[in-house]
Every structure is written in C-alpha cells, then in structure tokens.
Amino acid sequence: MEKQIGGKNDSSMSIISRIEEGYGKMSKSHKAIAAFITDHYEQAVFMTAAKLGETVGVSESTVVRFASGIGYDGYPEFQKELEDWVKDKLNTVQKIGAKYGKSTQSEILTSVLHADIEKIQDTIEHLDGTFFEMAVDTILEAETIYVLGMRSCEPLASFLHFYLNMIRGNVVLLSSTSISEIFEQMIRIGERDAIVGISFPRYSMRTLKAMEFANDRNAKVIAITDSVHSPMNLYSSCNLFARSDMVSIVDSLVAPLSVINALVVALCLKRPKDVKNNLEQLEQAWNNYQVYLNDEINFIDEEPMLNNPLMKE
C-alpha cells in the first residue's frame, strides 16, 4: 500500500526524505526525534521506541506517533525501513567498486573530472540570478553575518568565512558538535543580521534547526543547497542551488565551491575600497611581524633561507 505525506504519493521516498519533507510541519517533540535520527541514524537503527524516546526526552507513544506521522503503519515498519536505508548506505563502497572496479586510475580521474564539469554546467543553467544578487546585497547590508556548514560542508563554510572576513567585519563562523552550542553562538541574532546555511545530501539537521532559529528571530536566511526539494529551503528567503551528487564515497563539492567563489568575487566588486584597505592592513601586519618568514618560502633566487634568522613561533 502506498502512503501519503502532505498529499503526495511517496512510495519511492527514502525514510530520510520523508523526515526532511515533513520536518517543517512537525511538533517540537517530533522535530527533536527527527533531528536525532538524521544525525545519529547508526544508533537509532538499533533502538526500540521506548529507548529512542528516553534518549530524546519524549514518551514512547510520541515516538510511535512520529513514525505514523511520516507515513508508516507503526514503529516496527519504521525501524525496518531505517535498517534497510542504513544497509544501503553501508553498501556504497561495493557500488563504487562495481562502477569503477575495472577502470584504470587514469580512467577514474577522467570520469570524476567530467562528472564535476557536468555539475558546474548544470549549476550554471539552473542558478537563479535574482537570488544571487539578493544574496550579495543581503550579505553586504547585514549587521552580522553567521555562516554554518556541518560535516563535509564545513570546509565550504570556512572558505566563505575567510573571504567574507576580508571584505567586511562582523562575520561569525558557527562551529559545534551540538545544536545547543550553535544556539549559544547565535543568541544575539536578530532582524538586522543574516545567516548563510550550507547543506547538501545527507542534509544536516543541525544546520536546518539553526536556520529555523534565525528565521524565528526575523534574520535574513540564505541557503546554499542542491535543489528545490532540499529541506534547507523551508526557512530561507534566498536559495542558491548548486548540483552536488555522489560520484564516490565522498560528496562532490566542486559546483557549490564555484558558487561561493562567485559570491566572493561579486562582493569584492561591490566593495572594492573596503577590500583594498583590508588587504593593505593585512600586508602591513604581515610585514611588521614577518609572518611569511615563519612558515612560507616566498622568494626565489634570493639569499638562501638559511642565512635569514627565523622568528620563533
């Protein structure tokens, strides 16, 4: 029997997709269950309804209602579906072996690079220019910018934070292993501020909840994600889509990084004087404190480096 969620036929949807799609309409307790399952599915798959409820801090009956709420006949069916989904994830290496097992190293390199080129081309065709301009203006006008990316998206968030910090002040990189600590760092977010949430499948529930919190505080919310079906769109008013499919056991983040790079370039062109002044101050600081002499070789065909006294770190 095919189940309905929000009036949609969803017989082919994965259990995580069901959770993500229904998240926006869930009660507070159901959202807590959803967050635990998506962030800790390896543990949740072995838990009874009573144990899951105890871990999250809700009743066993609430967990059963949660399972029914996303389209299952009961908790046993829900747990079986979660078990199958986890097994499928664990078989990823075998699938990659079947796809690339007989390929040479050179063929694998070419195949992966061509796949990344296709993702960038697809991103060019589907990225909304109006949203891109809106994101640039929002970042420049906000009093404080918060940037968040978890797991494989953390390097993207760090990259964006690094360059935003050169372009403007008051940029906060949110980093934590728990949602409560993220909220502590965001406690002062308000209507004059903005948050950039970066998340791709498997989507981060911690990022989603942070964006929900920002939206509740009337802050501007920008999502950098993969498609209109992403749950990150639930609380964002500005969506930048970049294609990111798995070509191996790791996520391809080439297209998202290109979009972020384009954001940085556009921001620099909007604030050229500020960027120039900030870089000049950095250059002066580097020269005054001999930063590059400590850890980088920045000259060729000059005096041998051993003739230059190195500062102790």
Which whole number is the average pLDDT over 152-181?
87
Residue 201 neighbours by CB distance under 10 Å: 17
Distance CA 54, CA 32 (A): 12
Confidence of residue 310 (pLDDT cuts 50, 70, 90): very low
Higher-pLDDT residue of 54 and 100 is 54
Given pLDDT bands bounded at 50, 70 and 90, which one contains residue 293?
Answer: low
Q: What is the pTM for the complete model shown?
A: 0.68
State whether the Cα torsion 205-197-254-231 is positive or negative.
Answer: positive
**pLDDT tens per residue, range 188-197:** 999 999 999 9
Which has the closest alpha carbon to 50: 84, 79, 17, 71?
A: 79
In tens, the pLDDT along 257-280 reads 999 999 999 988 888 887 788 777
Q: What is the CA radius of gyration of the chain?
A: 23
Using pLDDT thresholds of 50, 70 and 90, give the confidence band for residue 85: confident
Q: For residue 221, what are the contacts with CB-CB under 8 A and spacing of at least 6?
A: 194, 195, 197, 211, 214, 215, 235, 236, 237, 238
